[in-house]
Amino acid sequence: MFSNILLPTDFSECSAEAARVAKLLAERFGSRITVLHVLDEPAALDPMFRGDVPLELLRGRMEQFARESMDAFLSAHFQGFTNFDTILASGIPWREIIRKARESAAGLILIGTHGRTGMEHVIFGSTAEKVVRMATCPVLSVRQGGKEFIHP
């Protein structure tokens, strides 16, 4: 059904739930999963975010943290599952997710959502919402604590 599933992750509990569902779907349909993490480049460029830390040093720290977090995420959620690739990218998260979905010919983007509402949604926006609106392939958003819909 979906030969390639793109799984964007920010390493949160929402992403953990999305990983669980992606793995179930991949096992059921024989799909390959591409696990993607996007370093939020605009945040790194903001002087208020980085303070006096030189930009290259901050980028290096962010990349190291992302690699370590990716390793931990994979070992926690993909134990015994080997049909996946990983990508670390930099940029605006929703744009990079859309770009990587096209480049990898993803048949499905499976993304966790924090389910923010009200003022928190206005301030932080929603990467998942932008991906749903802009993607050219189907998108399945998974919310932490949602009801079980796939039975092993």
**Whether the predicted pLDDT of 98 surpasses 90:** yes
Give phi and psi for 44, each to the nearest 5.
-70, -30
Give the residue with greater pLDDT, 70 vs 113: 70
Give every CB contact of residue 126 below 8 A, 6+ residues apart in sequence: 113, 114, 116
pLDDT value at 119 more than 60: no
The closest of 64, 72, 82 to 27, measured between CA atoms, is: 82
Residue 110: which of 8, 31, 4, 2 has the closest Cα?
8
pLDDT > 50? residue 32: yes
Domain range summary for the chain, segments of one domain joined by +: 4-143
Domain 4-143: which CATH number of 3.30.200.20, 1.10.3720.10, 3.20.20.60, 3.40.50.620: 3.40.50.620
Residue 39 identity (one-letter amino acid): L
Mean pLDDT confidence for 111-127:
61
pLDDT number for residue 126: 81
Inform me whether the pLDDT recorded for 145 exceeds 70: no
Q: Kindly report which listed range (10-24, 39-53, 57-71) carries the lowest average pLDDT score.
A: 39-53
Round to whole Å and give the CA distance between 20 and 29.
Answer: 14
Q: Specify the amino acid at residue 44.
A: A
